[in-house]
Homo-oligomer: A and B are copies of this chain.
Amino acid sequence: MKAKMDLSVDTKECWNCPIKHQAVCSRCEPDELKRLEEIKYYRNYEAGQPVIWAGDHMEFVASVVTGIASLSQTMEDGRTQMVGLLLPSDFIGRPGRDSAPFDVVAVSDLTICCFRKNPFEELMTTTPHIGMRLLEMTLDELDSAREWMLVLGRKTAREKIASLLAIVARRDAALKKHSPKDGMNFDLPLTREAMADYLGLTLETVSRQISALKKAGIIELDGKRRVVVPSLERLINETGDDVDGGYIS
């Protein structure tokens, strides 16, 4: 009996919101926060549930508070490509546009903080802090989308898997506020199919390459979802990326 924790009680108030230092509202002054608080409401989704379908009218924009959502595109014949992973503090939707360009699906159980679209847009024109933070976040997203284009266009299946693992490892380390190190372990909250959709592969190839990395000792699996990385350097070597380049920041 997996009793689902009700996270909402903890996050109803901005002052103890877990993403208050990263989200679109992180630059806001107390009075601006107050006005945001008036137009916000929370929504919860279970793993697998759709949040928005491409083309839907959107009456809100939102921040991911807890959990993971995917942004993806599907062709008529069923081929699908994930075009973004939305993690806590990531922004959903777009001021000035009212139909969604991509599908948004809850990958894990998910809580989002919604702002009614019209008042939010008004608020953006009057308070610069929101727009500035959103610009920053959007520029970051654009950079990572472009990094991902290299993965999709030029990397081998093995390099793709290693790249995904390296990204999740880095993100997990950032979340726990320590730098990624040897022996670290983390949850991989994606099914083989979701990984395939993210990497532009089939799920069989994903499975085979993960087995190969395991056999090569690059990773160890603890159960189905927990990954252990004995040597981070060896993992990064497998990504094809420059070992020292990129992520100094």
Contact = CB atoms under 8 A, between A and B. Distances in A.
Interface in A129-161: 131-132, 134-136, 138-139, 141-143, 145-150, 152-154
Contacts of A83: 146, 149-150
B149 A142 contact: no
Q: How many copies of this chain sit in the oligomeric assembly?
A: 2
A81 B154 contact: yes
Which size bracket describes the interface of A in this complex? 35 or more
Contact of A153 (B81, B128, B135, B139): B81
A198 B71 CA distance: 22
Given A128-B131, A139-B94, A149 B145 contact: yes
A80 B149 CA distance: 11
Contacts of A75: 150, 154, 240-242
B148 A149 contact: yes
A73 B146 contact: yes
Given A139-B94, A152-B153, A102 B146 contact: yes
A32 B174 CA distance: 40
